[in-house]
Amino acid sequence: MTALALRPPTLLLGARSFVRGAQWVARNPKLWPHAIVPALLAVLMVSTFAGLGWWAAWRLSAPLRGDVSLFWQLVGLLEAIAVGGVSVGVGALLGLSLAQPASGWALDHLSRTLDLSLGGVDRPDGGWLETAWRGLRVTLTGLAVSLPVLGALVLLDLVFPPAMVVTVPLKFIVGSMVVAWDLLDYPFGLRGVRVRERIAFIRANFRSVLGFGACASLLLFIPGVGLLVLLPLGVAGATYLVADIERGVSLPPSVKPG
C-alpha cells in the first residue's frame, strides 16, 4: 500500500495515474507492438471507410458530371465534393469508433501485464470477440449518455451565446468523463465489474476519475498525435488508477476487486 493510495480521491490522483501509465508504456519497448495496434487499426479503418465514402459519392454524381451541359457538370462536381466531404467525415468517425473495440485484445494485454506487475491476480483472457463486443457496448453506452448532453449544451450556446462561459467547461467535463469511462473498461473488464458497479465506482471516486479523464482528454488537443496514443497510454493510466484505489481509497460496497 503506497502513500498515494492512502490519500482521499482527488483530481491530482487521477492525473498522476495517467502520467504514470504513459511513463510505463514508454519504458517498456517490448509492449510497443501492442501499444501501436490501435493507431494502426484507426488509420486503416479511417482510410478504408473514408475512401469508400468518397468513391460512392463520385460514382453517384457520375450521371450529372457526364451531362453535355457545362452547368450540370458543375452541379455534379459540387455534389460529389459535398457528399464526398460528408462521407469522409462519417467514415472517419466510424473508423475511429470501431478501432477501439477492434484493438481490445491488444489493450487488454497492456492492462493485464501492468495489473500483474502491480500485484494483481492472473485472470482468464476473454478472447478477441468478447473484448471487442465489450468495448463496443461500453463505447455505445458512453455515446448514448453523452451525446444528448453535449447536444443540449451546443443548442444552449446557439440560443444564448453568453452561456458559453459555463457550457464550455461543462462540455470539457462531460467529454473527460466519457474518455475515462471508455478507458476504465479495461481494468474493469479484467475484474468482471458490471455496469452498475462501474457507475458506483465512478460516483465514489468522481474527482479522481475526472482528473484522469481530463488529463487524457488534453492529448486530443495535439493534432494528429493525441488520438493515436490516447488509447494505450490511457489504458495503462486507468489500470494504475483502479489499482491505486483498490489498495487504499474507499470503494463502494458493491465493487469487490478480484
Per-residue pLDDT tens digits for 148-168: 887 888 888 778 878 888 888
Q: Which residues, including other chains, have CB under 8 Å from residue 124's CB and lie 6 or more apart? A: none
Residue type, 50: A
Q: Give residue 211's pLDDT band: very low, low, confident or very high (50, 70, 90).
A: very high
User: Is a pLDDT exceeding 70 seen at residue 132?
Assistant: no
Q: Please, what is the average pLDDT of the chain? A: 78
Summarize pLDDT for 29-82 with one digit per residue, the tens. 999 999 999 888 888 888 888 788 778 777 777 777 676 677 777 877 777 777
Name the band, by pLDDT with cuts 50, 70 and 90, for residue 204: confident
Residue owning grid cell 449518455: 145
Contacts of residues 74-79 at CB distance under 8 Å and 24 or more positions apart, as own/partner, are: none
Q: What does the pLDDT average to over 5-32?
A: 83
Give percent of the chain with pLDDT exceeding 90: 20
Give the per-residue pLDDT at 27. Answer: 94
Residue pointed to by grid coordinates 495496434: 37
In the chain, alpha helices (H): 3-6, 11-26, 32-35, 37-60, 62-65, 70-102, 104-117, 128-159, 164-183, 185-191, 195-204, 206-217, 226-246
Cell numbers for 37, please give them: 495496434
Q: Is the pLDDT of residue 206 over 80?
A: yes
Q: What is the pLDDT of residue 13?
A: 86
User: Which pLDDT band, with edges at 50, 70 and 90, does 26 fall under?
Assistant: very high
| pLDDT score at 199 | 87
Cα–Cα distance, 90 to 77 (Å, whole number): 20
Nearest of 189, 204, 192 to residue 252 by alpha carbon: 204
Q: What is the pLDDT of residue 80?
A: 73
> Is the CB of residue 180 less than 8 Å from the CB of residue 213?
yes
Non-local CB neighbours of 9 within 8 Å, separated by 6+ positions: 204, 205, 206, 207, 208, 245, 249
What count of other Cβ atoms lies within 10 Å of the Cβ of residue 167? 20
Tell me the per-residue pLDDT of 222-256, one tens digit each, with 9 for 90 and over: 766 666 788 899 999 999 999 988 876 444 444 44
Question: What pLDDT, on a 0 to 100 scale, did the predictor assign at position 250?
Answer: 40
On the 0-12 / 13-18 / 19+ scale of CB atoms within 10 A, 16 is buried
Residue type, 2: T
3 state SS of 160: coil
Map grid coordinates 501501436 to a residue: 36
